[in-house]
């Protein structure tokens, strides 16, 4: 039995699908992150099965300039996935014939617009772009097998974070497709399928384990003290190779260690979460684990190589997969370098209601938001964090909050929308995470205005 929200979305999806079927050729535009790439693969597969030709375009973000370019290209129909809801004004002004399948906070109204916010669901944790597009795809035909991609997308957007598991519309997609995706409570660390256990702990940035994260010898020693074989047939064991009893030992030891090392409660809560496996995928590969899969995709799209991730989503396990694996290693290194850059330059500056750092050209603008999210737990959790990075047309701004702040009234998307408009920039996103571009030379004004805006949202307490 589907929920009311699901049924309401299906109703809109039927209308959007009807519009799409009017065309034999469409142009698709999607976002470059894991959610955007899985959304792209879902719509692509659905179009292909419906006998509709398409071409796929990936963009860092949608802005007026790109909408204008699209209008000049005279496409019969443009399908936007995982973006578009924040740029409806431009889409209408430039006369684009469009279908929008997105989960960002809508700015404007459109006649073919599928978005969880329209049925009272929050797009930061109830449904992602990939989930929205999954619902649309299933009105174009029977595309239930694409549920695994829908789950990879919402995990990439960290939608399990709020409750430590998927809920609401995401959970409905999950539960309806046990032959494709399986959920279980497990250690949340990244790399359970593919990394030696000590490496998995060494690279644990979420949660950050002080003394263990980044310390290979320390991790080997830590595991050694638990007295079970760390290797088999001269190969380091991965998490999936461990006996249940040994897994329990490791989990208890990590929790005990965290208590002993004053790991903040918010991080402790993230040690065990619901985890998602793609049951049709080969064990021991990135694509088996939804978190690893999503990171593999981010490693392609956020470096302007979304086509590689797209091919992997569509089933390539050969050349594109191996190129994605290479990019993944660089991506993980860039994240660690980014975190270290902020920590070592001691760059997080606190104002009364916000904190920020400026990575300038040291962290690429496409991953500065991830870095901000990852380091937030080591700084002041009572203040949202803003990160700046240089891009060609201005400062990229990325912001991240916490659930507690959102409960107090924080809405980063709304705050960025208002402040950036005043400064000649544009932004949007979600209550808990949002991004924008502002003109060079406006950072000081931005900080001042944002500090006031956030104090108004969350009060002076
Ligand atoms: O573009 P978009 O919607 O796909 O990205 C959502 C962003 O929100 C991601 O960067 C994700 O990490 C962030 N997020 C977060 N905390 C949450 C939920 C989402 O930082 N609880
Ligand atoms: O930009 P957003 O905040 O979506 O970042 C979510 C992404 O961050 C994940 O998909 C993953 O690629 C990356 N991440 C990671 N390691 C962590 C936490 C997040 O690679 N420990
Ligand atoms: O880029 P970043 O990871 O900080 O983005 C956080 C959220 O804000 C994402 O959901 C992204 O799609 C959204 N965003 C936006 N408009 C921008 C930049 C980011 O809606 N100009
Ligand atoms: Zn998304």
pLDDT digits (tens, 9 = 90+) for 222-265: 999 999 999 999 899 999 999 999 999 999 999 999 999 988 88
In the predicted model, what is the mean pLDDT of residues 330-351? 90
User: Are 139 and 238 in a shared domain?
Assistant: no
Among 152, 177, 202, where does a domain finish? 177
Q: Does the C-beta of 266 come closer than 6 Å to ligand 1?
A: no
User: Are 60 and 118 in a shared domain?
Assistant: yes
Domain range spanning residue 112?
A: 4-177
Q: Does the C-beta of 193 come closer than 6 Å to ligand 1?
A: no
- Which pLDDT value is given to residue 266? 79
In the predicted model, what is the mean pLDDT of residues 91-107? 97
Is residue 243 one of the residues assigned to a domain?
Answer: yes
User: Are 211 and 136 in a shared domain?
Assistant: no
Closest ligand 1 atom to residue 429 Cα is 3
Query: Is residue 101 within 8 Å of 133, Cβ to Cβ?
Result: yes
In tens, the pLDDT along 46-86 reads 999 999 999 999 999 999 999 999 999 999 999 999 999 99
User: Are 81 and 216 in a shared domain?
Assistant: no
Is residue 299 one of the residues assigned to a domain?
Answer: no
| CATH code of residue 23 | 3.90.1640.30
Closest ligand 2 atom to residue 331 Cα is 20
Q: Which of 435, 436, 439, 446 to mutate to test the pocket of ligand 3 (most atoms within 8 A of CB)?
A: 435
Distance 369 CA to ligand 2 centre (A): 9
User: Are 367 and 440 in a shared domain?
Assistant: yes
Is residue 105 one of the residues assigned to a domain?
Answer: yes
State the sign of the Cα–Cα–Cα–Cα dihedral 31, 33, 37, 39.
Answer: negative
In whole angstroms, what is the distance from residue 155 CA to residue 157 CA? 5
Among 157, 177, 197, where does a domain finish? 177
Distance 199 CA to ligand 1 centre (A): 26
Distance 431 CA to ligand 1 centre (A): 9
User: Are 406 and 430 in a shared domain?
Assistant: yes
Query: Is residue 385 within 8 Å of 400, Cβ to Cβ?
Result: yes
State the sign of the Cα–Cα–Cα–Cα dihedral 133, 400, 61, 155.
Answer: negative
Closest ligand 1 atom to residue 36 Cα is 4
This prediction has a pTM of 0.93
User: Are 169 and 23 in a shared domain?
Assistant: yes
Q: State the DSSP H helix or E strand holding residue 405, giving kind and residue range, or none if neither.
A: helix 403-407
Of residues 391, 394, 403, the one with CA closest to residue 439? 394
In whole angstroms, what is the distance from residue 347 CA to residue 358 CA? 7
| CATH code of residue 444 | 3.10.310.40
Is residue 452 one of the residues assigned to a domain?
Answer: yes
In the predicted model, what is the mean pLDDT of residues 178-196? 96
- Which pLDDT value is given to residue 363? 96
In the predicted model, what is the mean pLDDT of residues 205-219? 86
* Higher-confidence position of 428 and 347: 428
- Which pLDDT value is given to residue 416? 97
* Higher-confidence position of 213 and 245: 245
- Which pLDDT value is given to residue 374? 87
- Which pLDDT value is given to residue 128? 98
Is residue 279 one of the residues assigned to a domain?
Answer: no
User: Are 136 and 195 in a shared domain?
Assistant: no
Is residue 228 one of the residues assigned to a domain?
Answer: yes
Q: Which of 151, 370, 372 to mutate to test the pocket of ligand 2 (most atoms within 8 A of CB)?
A: 370
Task: State the pLDDT confidence band at 426, using cuts at 50, 70 and 90.
Answer: very high
User: Are 81 and 200 in a shared domain?
Assistant: no
Task: State the pLDDT confidence band at 156, using cuts at 50, 70 and 90.
Answer: very high
- Which pLDDT value is given to residue 442? 97
- Which ligand has an atom closest to residue 152 CA? 2
Of residues 379, 377, 291, 298, the one with CA closest to residue 332? 298
Is the pLDDT confidence value at 433 over 90? Answer: yes
Is residue 142 one of the residues assigned to a domain?
Answer: yes
- Which pLDDT value is given to residue 204? 85
Q: Does the C-beta of 412 come closer than 6 Å to ligand 1?
A: no
Q: Which of 374, 375, 429 to mutate to test the pocket of ligand 2 (most atoms within 8 A of CB)?
A: 374
Does the interface ipTM go beyond 0.90? Answer: no
Is the pLDDT confidence value at 336 over 90? Answer: no
Q: In this structure, which residues have their CB less than 5 angstroms from ion ligand 4?
A: 35, 82, 129, 157
- Strands of the 426-429 sheet, one edge to the other: 349-350, 355-358, 385-391, 394-400, 433-438, 426-429
In tens, the pLDDT along 320-335 reads 999 999 999 999 889 9
Is the pLDDT confidence value at 175 over 70? Answer: yes
In tens, the pLDDT along 197-206 reads 999 999 887 7
User: Are 378 and 449 in a shared domain?
Assistant: yes
Q: Show the ligand 2 pocket: residues with CB < 6 angstroms.
A: 34, 156-158, 190, 205-206, 294-295, 298, 335, 369-370, 373-374
Q: Which residues pair with 205 in a beta bridge?
A: 208
Tell me the two tokens of residue 201.
């702990």
User: Are 155 and 210 in a shared domain?
Assistant: no
Is residue 204 one of the residues assigned to a domain?
Answer: yes
Tell me the two tokens of residue 50.
């419906």
Number of domains in the chain: 3
User: Are 35 and 171 in a shared domain?
Assistant: yes
Q: Does the C-beta of 35 come closer than 6 Å to ligand 1?
A: yes
Closest ligand 2 atom to residue 373 Cα is 3
CA-nearest residue for atom 1, ligand 3, is: 435
Distance 50 CA to ligand 1 centre (A): 31
Among 270, 301, 323, where does a domain finish? 270
- Which ligand has an atom closest to residue 107 CA? 3
Q: Does the C-beta of 158 come closer than 6 Å to ligand 1?
A: yes
Task: State the pLDDT confidence band at 460, using cuts at 50, 70 and 90.
Answer: low
Query: Is residue 115 within 8 Å of 96, Cβ to Cβ?
Result: no
Distance 428 CA to ligand 3 centre (A): 6
């Amino acid at each position: 039995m589907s929920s009311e929200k699901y049924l309401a979305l299906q109703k809109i999806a039927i209308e959007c699908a009807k519009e799409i079927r009017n065309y034999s050729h469409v142009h698709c535009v999607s976002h470059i992150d894991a959610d955007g790439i899985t959304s792209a693969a879902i719509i692509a597969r659905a179009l292909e099965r419906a006998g509709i030709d398409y071409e796929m375009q990936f963009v860092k973000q949608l802005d007026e300039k790109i909408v204008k370019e699209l209008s000049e290209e005279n496409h019969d129909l443009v399908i936007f996935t995982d973006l578009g809801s924040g740029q409806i004004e431009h889409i209408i002004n430039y006369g684009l014939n469009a279908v929008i399948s997105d989960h960002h906070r809508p700015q404007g109204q459109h006649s073919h617009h599928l978005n969880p916010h329209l049925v009272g669901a929050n797009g930061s944790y109830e449904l992602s772009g990939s989930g929205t597009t999954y619902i649309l795809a299933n009105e174009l035909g029977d595309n239930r097998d694409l549920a695994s991609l829908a789950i990879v997308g919402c995990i990439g957007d960290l939608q399990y974070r709020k409750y430590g598991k998927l809920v609401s519309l995401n959970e409905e997609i999950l539960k309806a497709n046990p032959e494709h995706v399986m959920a279980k409570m497990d250690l949340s660390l990244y790399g359970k399928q593919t990394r030696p256990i000590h490496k998995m702990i060494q690279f644990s940035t979420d949660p950050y384990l002080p003394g263990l994260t980044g310390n290979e010898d320390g991790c080997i020693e830590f595991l050694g003290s638990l007295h079970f074989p760390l290797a088999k047939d001269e190969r380091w064991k991965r998490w999936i190779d461990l006996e249940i009893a040994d897994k329990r030992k490791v989990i208890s030891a990590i929790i005990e260690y965290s208590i002993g090392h004053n790991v903040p409660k918010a991080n402790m809560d993230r040690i065990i979460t619901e985890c998602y496996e793609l049951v049709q995928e080969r064990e021991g590969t990135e694509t088996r684990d939804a978190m690893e899969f999503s990171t593999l995709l981010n490693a392609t799209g956020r470096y302007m190589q979304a086509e590689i991730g797209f091919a992997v989503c569509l089933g390539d396990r050969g050349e594109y997969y191996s190129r994605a694996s290479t990019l993944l290693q660089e991506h993980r290194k860039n994240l660690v370098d980014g975190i270290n850059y902020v920590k070592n330059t001691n760059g997080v500056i606190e104002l009364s209601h916000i904190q920020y750092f400026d990575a300038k050209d040291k962290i690429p603008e496409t991953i500065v938001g991830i870095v901000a999210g990852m380091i937030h737990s080591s700084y002041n959790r009572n203040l949202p964090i803003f990160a700046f990075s240089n891009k060609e047309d201005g400062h990229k701004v990325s912001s991240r909050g916490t659930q507690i702040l959102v409960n107090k009234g924080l809405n980063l998307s709304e705050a960025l929308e208002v402040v950036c408009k005043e400064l000649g920039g544009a932004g949007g996103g979600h209550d808990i995470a949002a991004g924008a571009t502002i003109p060079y030379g406006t950072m000081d004004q931005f900080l001042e205005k944002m500090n006031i805006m956030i104090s108004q949202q969350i009060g002076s307490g």
